[in-house]
Amino acid sequence: MSGFFKSKFFYVVAVLTLAAVIIPTVLCSMGLTPVLRSAVNTVFMPVQKLSDKAAEAIEGFTSYFTAFDRMKEENARLKEELASLREEVAGAREIKEKYDWMSDFLELKMLHHEYKLVPAVISGRGSASYSNVFMLDAGKISGIDRGMPVVSGDGILGYIAEVGPTWSKAVSVMEASSSVGAYVERSGAIGVIEAEYDLSLEGILKMSYLDEDADIKVGDRILTSGYGSIYPRSLVIGYVETVKTDDLTRSITATVRPASTLDQVSKVMVVTHYEVYSEEP
Residue 205 lies inside a defined structural domain of this protein: yes
Cα separation, 258 vs 254, in Å, equals: 13
Provide the pLDDT for residue 235.
93
Residue 246 lies inside a defined structural domain of this protein: yes
Q: Which residues of the chain have pLDDT under 70?
A: 1-65, 67-68, 88, 90-104, 127-131, 228, 277-281
Residue 51 lies inside a defined structural domain of this protein: no
Residue 32 lies inside a defined structural domain of this protein: no
Cα 10 to Cα 20, 23, 76, 78: the distances in Å are 15, 20, 63, 67
266: containing domain: 116-273
Q: DSSP class of residue 250?
A: -
Provide the pLDDT for residue 201.
84
Provide the pLDDT for residue 221.
97
| 140-172 burial: b if 16+ Cβ within 10 Å, else e | eebebeeebbbbbbbbbbbbbeebeeebbbbbb
Provide the pLDDT for residue 14.
59
Residue 86 lies inside a defined structural domain of this protein: no
Residue 255 lies inside a defined structural domain of this protein: yes
Question: Do the Cβ atoms of 194 and 210 come closer than 8 Å?
Answer: no
CATH number of the domain where residue 234 is located: 2.40.10.340
Task: Tally the domains of the chain.
Answer: 1
Provide the pLDDT for residue 181.
92
Residue 243 lies inside a defined structural domain of this protein: yes
